[in-house]
Amino acid sequence: MFETSTLNARNQQVQRLVRILFLMMTLFLIVPVLIILGTLVVKGSSVISIDFLFTSPTEGMTAGGIFPALLGTVFLVAVDLVIAIPIGISAAIYLSEYAGNNWLTRVINLAIINLAGVPSIVHALFGLGAFVLFFGFGTSILAASLTLAIMTLPLVIVASKESMQAVPQAFREASWNMGATRWQTIRRVVLPNAIPGILTGLILEISRTAGETAPIMFTGAVFFTPFLPQGIFDQTMAMPLHLFVVATQVPGVPEDLPYGVALMLIALVLFMNALSIAFRAWLRGKKKW
């Protein structure tokens, strides 16, 4: 009896220590984020206004707003999603539903892992050589979005594949027993149940796409343009590059302006992610299992 009480006391002590350790690790991750957000709000909120959001930079980019950069970022993210989603989901369907466990599948999975680890500057140089020069798209929204799409494809493929593999095999077998083909099963059973997980990959893709600087700097984003883009073959300003410019390249910029741009960039990413998360939650609420 005494040994059991001692063992229980020791287990409770270990449990408390483990809980404290995990709490400290969580705080170690959360506190720096809160400090960064707090600094941006304190130092950047003074410049946020309707005029700041809907006017162009003026006086050599030391005054005015961020509307061209804000709109350009939305264009880049939208075109990137249009390109990356069909390709990424198609690749995930093949790897999850059609490909066997053979050398070709292993090579493809290895290539996806390696692609995820390539630095963004390498993607930028690839986009410059492939889309700007070889295909002749020039420095444009299309070239920049294609570069971003290639860079973020691993996120879409991996998230989509894991979501499809999480769908119970019994669902597929029930569909096949009813006479459905493999493609009908994928389209009507697997994909609808995997969409919430697929959206998780899209959320990560939006976050990375909206914040990248190097790939768009070489392929489509410009220091300043007085015109809004009229199509995908036009150049555009973008929030990450605009933040880099006003923070490091332009003399005489008010101290709070870069903080305001950074705050709006984070707000834009959070807004896009919130829409995706809300849509994912709505879809999960419709699931039957």
The C-alpha atoms of residue 148 and residue 142 are separated, in whole angstroms, by: 10
Is 50 contained in some domain? no
Is 119 contained in some domain? yes
Rounded to 10 deg, the angle between the 2-44 and 256-285 helix axes is 130
Radius of gyration of the chain (CA): 24
Residue 288's pLDDT is what? 57
State the number of CA atoms in the 13 A half-sphere of 38 facing the CB. Answer: 6
84 has pLDDT over 60? yes
- pLDDT per position as a tens digit, 114-125: 888 888 899 999
Is 259 contained in some domain? yes
Is 138 contained in some domain? yes
Is 1 contained in some domain? no
- pLDDT per position as a tens digit, 184-234: 999 888 988 888 888 888 888 888 888 888 899 999 888 888 788 888 999
286 has pLDDT over 70? no
71 has pLDDT over 70? yes
Classified as helix, coil or strand, 221 is: strand
- pLDDT per position as a tens digit, 87-116: 999 999 999 888 888 888 888 888 888 888
- pLDDT per position as a tens digit, 163-196: 898 888 888 888 888 888 889 999 888 988 888 8
- pLDDT per position as a tens digit, 3-25: 567 767 787 888 889 899 998 99
Give residue 175's domain range.
67-285
Is 201 contained in some domain? yes
pLDDT (average), residues 15-40: 89
Is 5 contained in some domain? no
CATH number at residue 262: 1.10.3720.10
Is 24 contained in some domain? no
Q: The pTM is what?
A: 0.86
Tell me how many domains the chain contains.
Answer: 1
Residue percentage of the chain with pLDDT more than 90:
34
For residue 72, how many other CB atoms are within 10 A of its CB?
28
